[in-house]
Structure 1
Amino acid sequence: MSKQYLTTHTIDHAHPTDIFSLSTTASQILSSSGSSSIQVHSTNQPDFPLFQTLDNAHKLGCHHTAISRNEQVAASVGFGGEIKIWAAQDDGRWGERTEIVDGNKAGEIWAIVLSEDGQYLAATSFDGRINVWDNLANGAKIREFETKGSFGMSIDLSVDGRFTASGHENGGIYIFNNDTGRLFHSLPSLVRPVRAVAFSPRGTLLAAAGDSRMIALYDVSSGDQVATLTGHRGWIFSLDWSDTGEYLLSGAFDGKAKVWSIEQRTCVATHTETEKTLWSVKWLPKVGKNEGFATAGANRSISFYREAAGG
């Protein structure tokens, strides 16, 4: 069974350079790029108007953003190695709360993820470590996980906060138990480098993808690989699960966004807004029964899609 999505709007030239990261709330989408500013657009209006610009957020540009699930805290990391923490204001705008300064060098900090309440930030590093900081304790580092992986290219945190997963340049995929601080699984990787990892909403599955152009699904409890999803013709840079865990969204170097049915283990929709790289793809909040998603990348635009059926 296939699904059909229609392009509802495109924000052309949303940034002057490649857009590397998208993060969403119930009413906003944050986008970051190789330029210094972060853009905030409203998603509860048909034309997705610009709501706020975080000027000069990162002098050398921003490659990753993250938002806590309670939507009260955001984080961004720049090419200069700086990490900024943002707090949601009463009027819906974002204000800078603190900056994590921990001797970070340019390129040392890469992928980031926030805990559900935004108190903790985890990030991968160029030498394979995973660092965890407490945002309420002046950005103090509270934990450091050591892996046998090289450059950490991706990271995710399970919804219940129990597990942290990371993907690495040499193909390593690691799952750590946050309660014990110990390695839970070192997974056999068929995707190297591993540019994206994502836990399913219930935390039972981990999706991983990268330069092999396929998506591997792992059972978190056992560490076994349970499925392989193939169809992209380029490196896969971004993965995102739907709220129910029924579908997985992917974006790749081939400019295609694909929607995968987890039950059917197959692609049910493919969309191409551009032939240029899609660096980031994200599901949007449902409108009625209709699912939607956004894509962004090397064409410097943000495209929005909604499911054609439903109401």
Structure 2
Amino acid sequence: MSDGYLQDHLIEHLMDAGRTAEAEAVASDLRWVQTRLHQRGPTAPWRDLDGIASPTARALAADIARAAHLLSPTNPPHALDAILSSRLTALSHWDDQPHPMVHHHLTNRWPPPDLPNRSLLRALTGSTAAVQALAFSPDGTLLATAGDDQCVRLWNPATGACQRTLVGHEGRIRAVAFSPDGTLLATADDDRRTRVWDPATGVCLSIVHGRIPRAVAFSPDGMVLADVAGDGCIWGRDPATGTVLRRLTGPIGGVKAVAFSPDGSLLATAGEDGWARIWNAATGTLRHSLTDHISGSGAVAFSPDGRMLATGGEDRRVRLWNTATGAALQTLSGHEGYVNATMFSPDGTLLATAGYDRSVRLWDPVTGTALRTLSGHEGYVNTLAFSPDGTLLAIAGHDRAVRLRNPATGTISDEGTGVRELAVAAGSQLVTADDDGRVRIRDAMTGTISHVLTDYARGVRTVAFSPDGTSLATVGEDGQMWVWDPSTAIPAPAFGTESIRGIRSAAYNSDGTVLATADAHRTLHLRDPATGAVWRTFTTGNRASHTLAFSPDGRLLAAVGHDDAVWLWNIETGNVQHTLTHDSAQSLQAVAFRADGEMLATADERGAVFLWNPTTGTLRGVLTGHEGPVGALAFGGPWLATAGDDATLRIWDPDAGTVLTLMRTDSPLRCCNWSLDGRVLYAGGRRGLFAYDYHRNTGNSP
């Protein structure tokens, strides 16, 4: 049926006929999931499984929900099947299912390191900038999110669908709050306006002009809307008219957060001076001044019974207070950055806190015990909220995604070790420079670690293998370069300590007879890899070249720095053969030669990939499609792989200017490289090392 009726209703008809086992068998077949995904999007196969009342079907529905934010349409369309398989076939039940594909595609060589733990239920994507605030409606059917893109989005947390987008703000939105009956939504922005909306229709009911608001909160009876201005003034307003009902007086300082107690009798504020204050909400008089934060306090929350107040601040600690007496009850330590958000679960058994360390921590507020840590966020966590029934914890921040988690489940952490750079050599060797400052030598086929090099306290900037795999050069953030025997992990003695300081990047030529290094003083050195002796020096116009690449014949050396040009040096003459520039290229990130030497590719911070003829210095074409900086590129035979901050790995036919296939990950990518035979593509990012087998087109399609 061309209108899709059969696909839309087959599962429910099987259920109505009492054929539940058959319905589950169809809905859990990966081929059916692929069909429904292309037909209606990820919500369709999720609904098929979620409507079947069996633990297995519900678990499989949860698998799809966790991956749904990665399953939007792709260009080319067939790449979506590979992304679906990548996220599901690493999981039980899905792993033994056939998933035939005839187009160019990637499959997991090992499970992706960014697969979420079971606490993640769904991720909501659509925000184009950092999310600063979120709130559930009182009945839990809506989730409002807002932030730096000046839009308010209303989501259905059950399906992940964006129900409505509210526009009109002309500045960053700092705060959102629902009225207790759910009929009003207040939002506050940097354009000195607090807006009150009807969330059911999206109509803006009123606008209050004033000083820049920092936070908003409704009183439990819905009669007062408190908003906090940037100068520390706290106003109690009539939410319908904006009329000022009262203004708090006293030493309030620069207030960043505000909250009413559950019975509405108290109002708590958190200030930039490190003090939290508890006020009489009816009279505006100060009840308690609480201090123990060394610097600013940026988060405040009452427990459901109103007896406890949680505050978080720039000193990385969370403190619990007795609201009746103002006495300190607990100090919770564990965060490694500013604490931006605190919130109690509706039943009071959990306290969730979040901040600059990209993690959410769950505590027992009575004992102060740390229960678990939820990680996997790609930036600062700015805000969080429990659903009214306590089954969901919504978390959002600088990485623009809103994650819905089950606060009752999950492992201690799902955070892997990030990969900054990687290199591949003969003999099935793979080396990675990791975020923990270590260099790991691995088996390229399995990822198994054979050696760990730990000599860089400040981290590693560059790794480079000689083509035969007998020599490994590593450059640290401290500017020191070491050359190692990768089979023993012992440094080569050839390089003196003075000669290896101040290095920023390194590269071997194609036969391993030359090692090029770039320093912080715009100087390139060509060295004998066996002795470290410098036999030629170039002075480049690049601001401290961070990436070097030799042409396949070893006659050209390309140098890229944080500017808009590629310098091509003729190794034999020592002269600059070409300086490659383009008006639209900004801050080049990477450079690579194709194996035939007839193409040079560069990438910039805006996501464009420039293709050059290195012989003539002319531009051959520009590849676009990435939505953010492209940090790495690599040729594998005729194909070009690119990896970017948009968490996509793309394989191009550079001559045709088309994408052959792509892979999405759940974390930004920093580096990529091919195996020497071009059959495996590796990529690294903040969540770890990815490896994909590349399958070329087996059908008639291009």
What is the TM-score normalised by the length of structure 2? 0.35
CA contact (8 A) 1:19 1:32 kept: yes
Per the TM alignment, residue 228 of structure 1 is displaced from its structure 2 partner at its CA by 0.7
Aligned counterpart for 1:22 among listed residues 157, 176, 188: 176
Distance 1:133 1:111, change over 3 A: same
* Alignment partner of 1:173 out of 318, 333, 338: 318
Could you tell me which of 23, 26, 50 is aligned with 2:204? 50
- Which residue does 1:153 correspond to in 2? 298
Unaligned runs of 5+ in 2: 1-61, 66-121, 123-158, 414-626, 629-702
- CA deviation profile, 1:215-243 (whole Å, cap 9, x unmatched): 00001111000011112101010111000
Provide closer, same or farther for how the CA distance between residues 255 and 67 of structure 1 changes in structure 2, counting only shifts above 3 A.
Answer: same
Q: Which aligned pairs between 1:4-83 and structure 2 lie closer than 5 A?
A: 4-12=159-167, 14-25=168-179, 26-45=182-201, 48-54=202-208, 56=209, 58-59=210-211, 61-83=212-234
- Judging changes above 3 Å, is the alpha-carbon distance between structure 1 residues 104 and 175 closer, same or farther for their aligned structure 2 residues? closer
Q: Is the 8 A contact 2:231 2:255 kept in 1?
A: no
Q: CA deviation at 1:34?
A: 0.8
Which whole-Å deviations, capped at 9, do the CAs of 1:104-136 have from their partners, x for residues lacking one?
45xx22211112243321111223211112132
**Partner residue in 2 for 1:234:** 379
Question: Residue 116 of structure 1 corresponds to which residue in structure 2?
Answer: 262
Q: Which residue of the partner structure matches residue 221 of structure 1?
A: 366
DSSP-derived class of the 2:390 partner? coil
CA contact (8 A) 2:379 2:398 kept: yes
Q: Which amino acid aligns with 2:160?
A: Y
Q: Which amino acid aligns with 2:262?
A: E
Residue 247 of structure 2: aligned partner: 99
User: What is the CA distance between 1:15 and its match in structure 2?
Assistant: 0.9
Name the count of aligned residue pairs: 257
Q: 1:65, 1:38 → 2: CA distance?
A: 9
What's the RMSD between the two structures over aligned residues?
Answer: 2.0
Pick from 334, 342, 349: which aligns with 1:197? 342
* Preserved CA contact (<8 Å) 1:236 1:253: yes
Larger Rg: 1 or 2? 2
- CA drift of 1:202 comes to 0.9
1:35 CA displacement: 1.5
Give me the whole-angstrom Cα distance separating, in 2, the residues matched to 1:143 and 1:93.
31
Distance in 1 separating the partners of 2:219 and 2:386: 16
C-alpha distance in 2 between matches for 1:103 and 1:203: 31
How far, CA to CA, are the matches of 2:257 and 2:405 in structure 1? Answer: 24
Residue identity matched to 1:75? A
The 3-state SS of whatever aligns with 1:123 is strand
Structure 2 distance, partners of 1:8, 1:199, is: 27
C-alpha offsets along residues 157-188 of structure 1, whole Å, 9 cap, x if unaligned? 11210110000101010011223321111012
Deviations 1:39-98 (A, max 9, x none): 0110123xx1111112x2x32x1111112233222211111221101235xxx5443201
Greater RCO structure (CA 8 Å; 6+ sep): 1
Select 1:184's aligned residue among 322, 329, 335.
Answer: 329
2:263–2:306 Cα contact (<8 Å) kept:
no
Aligned mates of 2:297, 2:188 — CA distance in 1: 20
Q: Is the 2:293–2:313 contact (alpha carbons within 8 Å) kept by the matching residues of 1?
A: no
1:248 pairs with 390, 393, 399, which one? Answer: 393
- For residues 33 and 178 of structure 1, the distance between their equivalents in structure 2, rounded to whole angstroms, comes to 30
Other structure's SS at 1:5 match = coil
Report the Cα offset of residue 146 of structure 1. Answer: 2.1
Aligned to 2:127: none
Q: C-alpha separation between the residues in 2 aligned to 1:242 and 1:135?
A: 25
Alpha-carbon shift at residue 190 of structure 1 (Å): 2.1
Judged with a 3 Å threshold, the aligned counterparts in structure 2 of structure 1 residues 265 and 71 are, in CA distance, closer, same or farther, namely farther
Q: Give the distance between the partners of 1:154 and 1:104, measured in 2 at CA.
A: 15
AA aligned to 2:216 is: T
Cα deviation, residue 143, structure 1: 1.1
SS of the residue corresponding to residue 98 of structure 1 reads strand
- Supply the distance in 2 between the matched residues of 1:104 and 1:261 (Cα, whole angstroms): 37
CA distance in 2, matches of 1:171, 1:103: 24
Q: Pick closer, same or farther for the CA change 1:218–1:228 going to 2, 3 Å.
A: same
Moved over 6 A (4+): none
Distance 2:400 2:406 in 1: 20
Q: Distance in 2 between matches of 1:161 and 1:154?
A: 16
Q: Hey, what does 1:127 align to over in structure 2? A: 273
Using the size of structure 1 for normalisation, the TM-score is 0.77
For 2:319, the aligned partner's letter is: Y
Deviations 1:182-213 (A, max 9, x none): 11110122242001111111111110111111
1:86 partnered with 2:237: yes
Any conservation in 1 of the 2:353–2:360 contact (CA below 8 Å)?
yes
Letter in 2 for 1:18: R
- Cα distance in 2 for partners of 1:231, 1:213 equals 8
Please tell me the residue identity of whatever aligns with 1:114: F
The question of 1:140 aligning with 2:285 is answered: yes
Report the equivalent of 1:303: none
